[in-house]
Amino acid sequence: MAERMLQFVRLSQQTPDKRAATERKADFGEIYQRFSAERAGEQASRCSQCGVPFCSIHCPLNNNIPDWLKLTAEGRLEEAYEVSSATNTFPEICGRVCPQDRLCEGNCVIEKGFDSVTIGAVEKYITDTAWEQGWVKPPKPAREVEHSVGIIGAGPAGLAAAERLRLRGWKVTVYDRYDRVGGLMIYGIPNFKLEKEVVLRRHAQYAEAGIEFVLNCRIGQDISLAELRAKHDAVLIATGVYKARDIGGPGSDLAGIVPALDYLTASNRENLGDHVPEFVDGTLNAAGKRVVVIGGGDTAMDCVRTAIRQGAAAVTCLYRRDKANMPGSMREVSNAEEEGVTFSWLSAPEGFEGQEGRVSGVRAVKMHLGLPDATGRQQVEPIPGSGFTEPADLVIKALGFDPEDLPTLFGEPGLTVSRWGTLTIDRRSMMTKLEGVFAAGDIVRGASLVVWGIRDGRDAAEQIESYVLARKAAAASPAMAAE
């Protein structure tokens, strides 16, 4: 083992420098500076190179984290990138948006006494350097094959599968209903977490590699699923989940109450230079408004921090549990607090007040944590007589996402769904009830992380290839026997 490793006893944890809150909340640029080569090497050298790497075990991609940390500490950056990209289709994106505090870093062996290794920041440094040095190559195959796949959805799962199959010589066509590639990475995640050029350059690279993209294409309207099945050897459904969970109660139909994804998409489109009428007329613009965001996940954090940057007069996040039980990344909560967001913990909305048809406030009640439920999570119960009203000119509902009704949208009743609305598949083959039609990502597992989408897309590519090769071999067998 190199003498450079196990430096956690000598070197303290250091994260990349962060722009001051007063500076960063005035724009949508990424808030973390990049590691210098020296700092990246030092932080990578803190890895203990443990025999059972819990960082890898708790990474959905089982990334070989200790290996590329060691290579980084030794200054072997190109090799570090090769190891990192061997298991991860988008390490530059995971380094930015993964909740490392809940995954790899949160399970780092040295975390309890010495603070974890800054895995995400080193991963980002490795891949950003690789792009600059030209080490990131388009997935061009050594030889072409006659197999064809149609992929519905240009998000993390769809793109990960496309990259895997194209590298093996497949003809890959990706269909997406939006006008840009990336799914929620392009329209859901704000620039201060993931600058859009990071996603757009992957689109350009994949197009250069021969992957065909058919955008502004709605399956079931512009082309049917039956037509895709006839055109391709296999079809992968990787649409993600986009249907916003709603909240009822008195006044829920007032103007000024909007879904989180509509709000974030408008902001991201505006930052990309698109003309967005709903942003211009103020419907989806927080400038000068008292904003209340309902929810406690990463989407809620994206909304509150976007509202701050749009110049909101005040931003409050209502969450029915306490800070310790918040599902979002604690790093994001800390950043939001630094930028001026107010958190109203243990507060649940009951209804909305309005004036002249527009929302003017959120009626809420204080909660307390009770006994654990069947999942082990503490139940929340209202405190009698604790009602209050939070003033609001714009209310953003960030309560999570459910699947759309794909059998109806696609005009294909043969697609079966679970009681949650997700597509049902054979868990081994990843195939739906329709022969040759596979599914992966959030449309199967429910709203989840980018890294899980990548994992599912890569796994689906393996299953699709096995299925098509076996089917074609079986079809060729009688002909071979006749000869």
Does the pLDDT value for residue 472 go beyond 80? yes
Q: What is the pLDDT of residues 44-64, one digit of tens each?
A: 999 999 989 999 999 999 999
Does the pLDDT value for residue 1 go beyond 50? no
Mean pLDDT of 272-289: 97
| Same domain, yes or no: 209 and 232 | yes
Residue 479's pLDDT is 55
Tell me the CATH number at 424.
Answer: 3.50.50.60
| Same domain, yes or no: 56 and 94 | yes
Name the residue with tokens 């005035």.
26
| Same domain, yes or no: 268 and 368 | yes
Q: Is residue 14 part of a domain?
A: no
| Same domain, yes or no: 262 and 391 | yes
Q: Would you list the DSSP string of 60-126?
A: TT---HHHHHHHHHTT-HHHHHHHHHHH-S-HHHHHHHS-TTTTTGGG-TTHHHH----HHHHHHHH
| Same domain, yes or no: 227 and 180 | yes
Q: What is the pLDDT of residues 356-378, one digit of tens each?
A: 999 999 999 999 998 888 878 88
For the chain, give the percent of residues with pLDDT over 90: 89
| Same domain, yes or no: 323 and 410 | no
Name which of 111-120, 150-159, 200-209 the model is least confident about.
111-120
Mean pLDDT of 439-466: 97
Threshold 0.75, pTM exceeds: yes
With cut-offs at 50, 70 and 90, classify the pLDDT of residue 299: very high
Residue 248's pLDDT is 86
Q: What is the pLDDT of residues 316-336, one digit of tens each?
A: 999 999 998 888 888 899 999
Does the pLDDT value for residue 480 go beyond 70? no
| Same domain, yes or no: 389 and 424 | no
Q: Is residue 26 part of a domain?
A: yes
Mean pLDDT of 153-158: 98
Mean pLDDT of 153-169: 98
246 burial type by CB count under 10 A (0-12 exposed, 13-18 middle, 19+ buried): exposed
Q: Of 397, 425, 455, which residue constitutes the final position of a domain?
A: 397
Number of compact structural domains in the chain: 3
Mean pLDDT, the chain, rounded, equals 94
More confident residue, 482 or 306: 306
| Same domain, yes or no: 372 and 269 | yes
Mean pLDDT of 98-112: 91
Q: Is residue 1 part of a domain?
A: no
Establish how many alpha carbons lie within 13 A of residue 108's alpha carbon, considering only the half-sphere containing its beta carbon. 27
With cut-offs at 50, 70 and 90, classify the pLDDT of residue 5: confident
Q: Is residue 220 part of a domain?
A: yes
Instruction: Provide, for the chain, the percentages of residues in helix, strand and coil under a 3-state DSSP scheme, each rounded to the nearest 5.
Output: 40, 20, 45
| Same domain, yes or no: 161 and 126 | no
State the residue range of the domain holding 279. 248-397
For the chain, give the percent of residues with pLDDT over 70: 98
Q: Is residue 257 part of a domain?
A: yes
Q: Is residue 440 part of a domain?
A: yes
Q: Of 346, 379, 397, which residue constitutes the final position of a domain?
A: 397
